[in-house]
């Protein structure tokens, strides 16, 4: 009976040991299958393995404790003491193994598993494009190195991205500046009127350089003087401020004399002004004027270094000004009499048409003088055509020195026309009388043996004279009435009268 009990106790004491071995194996096999099925991360797999191992160790420890308890209840049987000692040793080994497993778990968690989680989080952040939240990893040296390398790569990408963004922003700003500069030069070069070119040059230069004051000067090569062309308030400032400036006394003058840009710098070396010459190239350089910029920068300059841009703009503007001057010269030649320098018949027709229309529409007075040199053919025949040309020039010069609102024209041959704006017949007759006398006195300075006089016909816009052709016809009729009455006189038009031209010469 006792031997049977001993056998059962020994079998019961050994019951926990194989179960403690088989249980972890079964648990790990099940866990491995679950891990592979759920595709867990490496850190999660390691954490799950460790937890399963600890659970299996705990179960084995409990079973071993049951064995020891059973043995302890039968201490009186043979072999029970030995079995109890073996069971106690097994419990001690399992307890030590459990403690070791727990320490291993915490150590691996702090040095490997947690850094792997951080590394995984960092990888997901980088994958999503978040490169700004990289931090320092903790744990094993190898993982720290991996995290540091990823951080360096992320920072490099961030820096490169910022550089690319800055380059794109700088490129966009540079493109905007280039478009602005091209727009300025296009506007400067698209005109043939000097005033518009000068105004656009000044405003464009101010936008490029950011200076508060811009002055455009015209350079008079004959007198070496500078004459202001811009701004408008300088032109309207009065005689004192409009007086010519000697080129040698200013920075603008030095730029005009040398043909080179003059820089004005403060004591600290800061650029506070420029004088850029307006130079036209070709066979020989010609200085048309100077672009002068002064004052504090009231706004951000369009370009960091405005000198090159302003010189290019000044060169472009100088070419446009030269073209405008050439256009004006051609226009003046086509509308100006080459001998007397007065406007010709073509210009008279254009001006008279507009002035008559304005006078008729708004009721403003408009008077026309038709002037003819008496016996001019006799002057040519007696003294020669050169003397005749001198007489024509003196008569034209006298007519051209009239009021600012008057316009003088050479009508043809020895006939001239003067248009009086905002002037009635009475006032026009008084002015015509003074002209007649002045012409006689001026031509007399030639010392000719023959007295040279003029006859003048005066006509004005009225109810019966409402077109340019009728105004010319009325003035011409009054002129030949003066001829018929003895010449050297002024006659007012009578629209009703129809006198015939005299047959006498001149």
Active site residues: 414
User: Do β-strands 225-230 and 366-373 pair in parallel, antiparallel, or remain unpaired?
Assistant: unpaired
Measured CA to CA, the distance from residue 422 to residue 447 in angstroms comes to 37
Q: Which two tokens stand for residue 55?
A: 């659970």
Q: Which residue has the tokens 């490997």?
A: 112
User: Do β-strands 454-460 and 490-492 pair in parallel, antiparallel, or remain unpaired?
Assistant: parallel
DSSP SS3 for 267 = coil
- Per DSSP, what are the bridge partners of residue 220? 225
φ/ψ of residue 245, rounded to 5: -110, 130
Report yes or no: 5 and 77 within 8 Å, Cβ to Cβ. Answer: yes
CA dihedral 262, 268, 270, 276 (to 10 degrees): -10
What is the number of other CB atoms lying within 10 angstroms of the CB of residue 460?
Answer: 22
Report yes or no: 217 and 252 within 8 Å, Cβ to Cβ. Answer: yes
DSSP assigned state of 243: S
Report yes or no: 456 and 491 within 8 Å, Cβ to Cβ. Answer: yes
Measured CA to CA, the distance from residue 457 to residue 368 in angstroms comes to 8
φ/ψ of residue 246, rounded to 5: -70, 130
Measured CA to CA, the distance from residue 21 to residue 274 in angstroms comes to 96
Measured CA to CA, the distance from residue 141 to residue 28 in angstroms comes to 29
Q: Give the Å distances, CA to CA, from 145 to 41, 110, 116, 128.
A: 20, 16, 12, 22
Q: What is the helix (H) or strand (E) element at residue 131, kind and residue range?
A: none
Measured CA to CA, the distance from residue 229 to residue 477 in angstroms comes to 45
Distant-in-sequence, close-in-space partners of 60: CB < 8 Å, separation ≥ 6: 16, 19, 20, 21, 23, 24, 94
Q: Which two tokens stand for residue 449?
A: 């043996």
Query: Whose CA is closest to 274, among 210, 332, 321?
Result: 210
Q: How far is CA 308 from the centre of its chain?
A: 15
Measured CA to CA, the distance from residue 379 to residue 184 in angstroms comes to 58
DSSP SS3 for 42 = helix
Q: Omega before 231 cis (within 30°)?
A: yes
Q: Which two tokens stand for residue 328?
A: 């004006």
Query: Whose CA is closest to 287, among 250, 314, 326, 309?
Result: 314
């Amino acid at each position: 009976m006792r031997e049977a009990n001993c056998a059962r106790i020994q079998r019961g004491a050994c019951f926990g040991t194989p179960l403690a071995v088989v249980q972890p194996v079964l648990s790990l096999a099940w866990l491995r299958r679950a891990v592979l099925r759920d595709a867990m991360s490496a850190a999660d797999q390691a954490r799950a393995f460790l937890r399963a191992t600890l659970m299996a160790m705990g179960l084995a420890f409990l079973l071993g404790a049951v064995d020891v308890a059973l043995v302890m209840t039968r201490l009186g049987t043979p072999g029970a003491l030995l079995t109890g000692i073996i069971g106690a040793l097994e419990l001690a080994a399992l307890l030590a193994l459990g403690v070791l497993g727990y320490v291993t778990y915490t150590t691996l968690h702090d040095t490997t598993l947690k850094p792997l989680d951080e590394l995984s989080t960092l990888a997901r952040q980088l994958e999503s494009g978040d490169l700004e939240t990289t931090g320092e990893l903790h744990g094993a040296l190898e993982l720290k190195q991996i995290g540091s390398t990823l951080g360096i790569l992320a920072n490099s990408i961030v820096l490169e991205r910022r550089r690319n963004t800055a380059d794109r922003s700088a490129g966009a700003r540079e493109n905007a500046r280039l478009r602005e500069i091209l727009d300025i030069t296009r506007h400067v070069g698209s005109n043939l009127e000097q005033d518009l070119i000068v105004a656009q040059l000044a405003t464009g230069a101010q936008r490029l350089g950011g200076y508060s004051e811009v002055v455009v000067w015209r350079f008079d090569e004959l007198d070496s003087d500078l004459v202001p062309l811009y701004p408008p308030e300088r032109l309207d400032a009065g005689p004192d401020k409009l007086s010519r400036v000697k080129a040698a006394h200013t920075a603008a003058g030095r730029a005009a004399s040398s043909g080179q840009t003059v820089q004005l710098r403060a004591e600290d070396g800061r650029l506070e002004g420029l004088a850029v010459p307006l130079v036209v190239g070709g066979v020989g350089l010609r200085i048309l004027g100077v672009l002068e910029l002064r004052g504090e920068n009231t706004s951000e300059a369009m370009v960091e270094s405005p000198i090159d841009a302003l010189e290019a703009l000044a060169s472009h503007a100088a070419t446009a000004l030269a073209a405008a001057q050439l256009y004006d010269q051609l226009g003046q030649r086509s509308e100006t009499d080459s001998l007397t320098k007065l406007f010709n018949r073509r210009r008279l027709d254009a001006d008279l048409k507009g002035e008559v229309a304005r006078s008729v529409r708004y009721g403003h007075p408009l008077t026309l003088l038709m002037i003819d040199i008496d016996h001019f053919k006799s002057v040519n025949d007696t003294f020669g055509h050169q003397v005749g040309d001198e007489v024509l020039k003196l008569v034209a010069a006298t007519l051209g020195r009239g009021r600012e609102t008057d316009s003088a024209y050479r009508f043809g041959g020895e006939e001239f026309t003067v248009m009086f704006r905002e002037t009635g017949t009475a006032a026009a007759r008084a002015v015509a009388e003074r002209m007649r006398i002045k012409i006689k006195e001026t031509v007399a300075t030639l010392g000719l043996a023959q007295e040279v006089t003029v006859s003048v016909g005066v006509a004005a816009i009225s109810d019966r004279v409402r077109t340019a052709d009728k105004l010319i016809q009325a003035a011409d009729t009054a002129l030949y009435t003066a001829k018929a009455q003895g010449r050297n006189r002024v006659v007012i038009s009578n629209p009703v009268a129809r006198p015939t031209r005299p047959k006498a010469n001149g």
